[in-house]
Structure 1
Amino acid sequence: MYNNVGAQPGVPRPPAISQPNPFGDTFYGAGSGLIRGGLGAYGEKILGSSSEYVQSNISRYFSDPQYYFQVNDQYVRNKLKVVLFPFLHRGHWTRITEPVGGRLSYKPPIYDINAPDLYIPFMAFGTYVVLAGFSLGLQGKFSPEALNWLFIKGLLGWFLQVSLLKLTLLSLGSGEAPLLDIVAYGGYCFTGLCVAILGRILFGYSYYFLMPWTCLCMGIFLVKTMKRVLFAEVRSYDSSRHHYLLLFIALAQFPLFTWLGITSVNWFI
């Protein structure tokens, strides 16, 4: 009575006939393509803008570390002259710019004597630790632990110098200078310290002449450099306030140099 052919064993079941949908595939393909294209463009826009924001802020505050090591022998000699004898520097103190990618960028140290570098500060810091340890050896107080203390003391002095320069710029409304620039400027103090300690090792009492001299030269160098940074970055100029803070930077070199120049196993003497 019932036509139940599909349920009988051995008898092939007729294929199911599906109704064609002339619009389904078209709408699905167009819709999925539209969704993928829209999401892709939106995601690319978000990622692109965020990437530009991150890159701009990184370059604004940190810069490229490789930039600070593009030096040669001529630059090192001329830079040491500027740091140790800043009053003999007859040229300008402004940095040289060049167009890169549609924006102005500073030339690397190899092409600009006024550009900051990290090669001289790192080499001077290492030399300072070695000379201080050698001075301790002449006093019969050398030990590996004492050398470690001198290393930490030098790092702390570098940190204090960088903090002084950064806080001064922030208080004057110019906190946009890259951090590595400030680290480089703060590290130049070890060049003068090396000269003073070497003088004490070779000529004894010459240290008491070389130490004030190097403090004075470092103060002049930092004042000239910070004035350039302030004039380039600051939004409002207050001559009296600027002059007092720049004078404070120069005077702060004397206690800092004196503390770092004392080669002992004690933190304060």
Structure 2
Amino acid sequence: MHRPNYGNSPPLHHPVPQHVSTVPQLRSPPPPMSQPQGQGYDGSPYPQQQQGRVPSGGGNMFGQYGNFMNDPAAQIASQFGQTAFRQGQEYLENNVNRFVNVSALKHYFNVTNSYVINKLFLVLFPWRHKPWSRKQAVGPSGQEGWYLPPRDDINSPDMYIPVMSVVTYVFLRTVVAGFLGRFQPELFGYIATTAFAVVTFEILGLKLGCYLLNISNTSQLLDLVAYSGYKFVGVITTISIAEIANGGKGTGGWVGWLVFFYTFAANSLFLMRSLKYVLLPENNGDNRAPMQSMQTETRAKRNQRTQFLFIYSYIVQFGLMWILARP
């Protein structure tokens, strides 16, 4: 095959790179003379860190932490933090004490496991319980002083069972609504608001009745709050048994109504016997008045207070428990 001739062109030559300097070859540093390559300091095939040892010097994390803690600046910062935390705690307690007595509130949470079990049994089965009077601590000279905490007296009101009962009630109602296909996230707020509204209405009614009847023995508002919360034990029992017996149809069945009437009667009797020391004080007369007038006034006041306690324990409790237990 004839190749065309384009003239006398010079031959083509590829450029040859000119190496000005030689690039040194990268090599890993040689292993220590006292340690074979790939072995630890003790001759094992694993590094020393894998054997639970920490090398000394700058790589010691614990040594650096110890040096940091020994630093005067770090000690000053630690003391400043402790002082700020203590001052903040004191400020919080002083401001909270304006509305709630924290030391008194601790008294109502001083419970034990045996007390909680026995108190739940007492709320549900109060028929044969005696006595109902609260125990008081005896002072050094033999006089009676403050009431004993719940862990030492089964008749003492507590806040642990009411608080846990309200929380359990809210979750139980939402779970039942989920079984019935009516669950919505807004149910938590609605049920909790209903429970707190019931308790608030009850406390306001108690305080109003005590004011109108001139009952000055209501020394502790937390006592009334605790007693108003025990009804949730009966409501929880009613909802649980009714849902199990009626197959998720709510408390409208006859089993639910039977359990409701029983828990209502048990709670009413429990309140009648427990609130007697609050709403029916023993000494209400004036020692300067004549004996017959004092007895007549005391008897009249006691009858009014007994009627008020009966209305609160039976009529009011029936309406409040029905609102809480209805499907």
TM-score by length of 1: 0.70
Question: Aligned in 2, Cα 1:95/1:62: closer, same or farther, shift over 3 Å?
Answer: farther
Percent identity, aligned pairs only? 32
Does 2:179 match 1:138? yes
Q: Give ranges in structure 1 of 5+ residues lacking alignment.
A: 1-57, 264-269
How far off its partner does 1:99 sit?
4.0
Q: For the structure 1 residues 196 and 131, does the alpha-carbon distance in structure 2 shift closer, same or farther, using more than 3 Å as the test?
A: same
List per-residue Cα deviations over 1:30-64 (Å, max 9, x = no partner).
xxxxxxxxxxxxxxxxxxxxxxxxxxxx9xx9871
Which of the residues 179, 186, 198 maps onto 2:221?
Answer: 179
Check if 1:222 corresponds to 2:285: no
Q: Show the counterpart of 1:166.
A: 207
Q: Decide whether the 8 Å contact of 2:280 with 2:306 is kept in 1.
A: no
Deviation at 1:161, TM superposition (A): 2.2
Query: What's the Cα RMSD here?
Result: 2.7
Deviates more, 1:239-248 or 1:187-196: 239-248
Q: How many equivalent residue pairs?
A: 207
* Aligned counterparts of 2:283 and 2:161: Cα–Cα separation in 1: 28
Instruction: Identify the structure with bigger relative contact order (alpha carbons < 8 Å, sequence gap 6+).
Output: 1
Matched, 1:85 2:149: no
Task: Tell me if 1:197 matches 2:239.
Answer: yes
Q: Of 221, 226, 246, which residue of structure 1 is paired with 2:309?
A: 246
How far apart are residue 197 of structure 1 and its match? 0.8
Shift, 1:208, TM fit:
1.0
Q: Retained in 2: the 8 A contact 1:173–1:235?
A: no
- Which one-letter code corresponds to 1:194 in the other structure? I
Given that residues 239 and 256 in structure 2 are in contact (C-alpha distance below 8 angstroms), is that contact kept between their aligned partners in structure 1? yes
Shift of 1:74: 0.9
Cα offset for 1:260? 1.1
Residue pair 1:174, 1:233 contacting (<8 A) in 2 also:
no
Q: What is aligned with 2:136? A: 97
Shift of 1:171: 2.8
Aligned to 2:260: 211
Q: 1:245 to 1:63 in 2, by over 3 A?
A: farther
What SS does the aligned partner of 2:177 have? helix
Which SS does the other structure have where 2:182 is aligned?
A: coil
Q: Is it true that 1:255 corresponds to 2:319 in the alignment? A: yes
Larger radius of gyration: 2
- Equivalent residue for 1:74? 114
Matches of 1:223 and 1:77, distance apart in 2: 21
Segments of 5+ residues of structure 2 without an aligned counterpart are 1-97, 247-252, 286-297
- Counterpart residue type for residue 196 of structure 1: T
1:182 is displaced (CA, Å) by 0.9
Q: Which amino acid aligns with 2:166?
A: F
Q: 1:222 to 1:262 in 2, by over 3 A?
A: same
Query: What residue number does 2:59 align with?
Result: none
Query: Are the counterparts in 1 of residues 126 and 269 from structure 2 also a CA contact under 8 Å?
Result: yes
